[in-house]
Amino acid sequence: MNDAIQATTAPQTAPATKVSSDVIALAFAALVGAGLLFVGGFAQASAMHDVAHDQRHAIAFPCH
């Protein structure tokens, strides 16, 4: 037995950049969501329908 060699491990901590990047991503998602609600609330129904219809065609999704 060799008692001279001991294994030690350093405590693991999460990097500070992970937390700050999560906060930035959450803030960005909230801002985009609020923007979509704001724009959608003031747009005419026919304009919103046309945009959704065109998007369905753009991704080759059958809509009619």
Band of pLDDT at residue 28, cut at 50, 70 and 90:
very high
Q: How far is 19 from 25, CA to CA, in rounded Å? A: 10
For the cut 70, the answer to whether the pLDDT of residue 61 exceeds it is yes
pTM: 0.46
Range list of H helices, 1-64: 16-42, 45-58
Cβ–Cβ < 8 Å for 49, 57: no
- What pLDDT, on a 0 to 100 scale, did the predictor assign at position 7? 64
Q: How far is 48 from 36, CA to CA, in rounded Å? A: 11
Q: How far is 5 from 25, CA to CA, in rounded Å? A: 45
The mean pLDDT of the chain is 81
pLDDT in tens, 32-58: 999 988 888 888 889 888 988 898 899
